[in-house]
């Protein structure tokens, strides 16, 4: 984490976690997407990092990985 951590939360209904400082916000979570045409569920993990620029938060980094 960059800077002093201001908060950290875990969503009790999912595995989504949040943490951040005044200048950065981070969230991580698993996802499932149904592809209807082939009746397949794609599973993965997502990470988002937002960075404060002026008064706005903008996506600074986004990554995902697919699970087998």
> Could you read off the pLDDT of 16-62 as tens digits, one per residue?
898 999 899 999 999 999 999 999 999 999 999 999 999 999 999 99
Q: Which residue has the higher pLDDT, 13 or 59?
A: 59
Q: Where are the domains of the chain?
A: 7-67
Which backbone phi and psi does 38 adopt, to 5 degrees?
-115, 10
The pLDDT of residue 2 = 54
20 CB-contact burial (10 Å; exposed 0-12 / middle 13-18 / buried 19+): buried
Is the pTM here over 0.85, yes or no? no
Instruction: State the pLDDT at residue 9.
Output: 82
Angstrom distance (rounded) from CA 54 to CA 13: 33
d(CA 68, CA 65): 10
């Amino acid at each position: 984490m960059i800077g002093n951590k201001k908060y950290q939360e875990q969503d009790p209904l999912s595995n989504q976690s949040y943490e951040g400082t005044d200048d950065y916000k981070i969230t991580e979570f698993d996802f499932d997407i149904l592809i209807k045409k082939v009746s397949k569920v794609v599973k993965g993990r997502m990470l988002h990092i937002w960075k404060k620029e002026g008064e706005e938060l903008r996506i600074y980094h986004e990554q995902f990985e697919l699970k087998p």
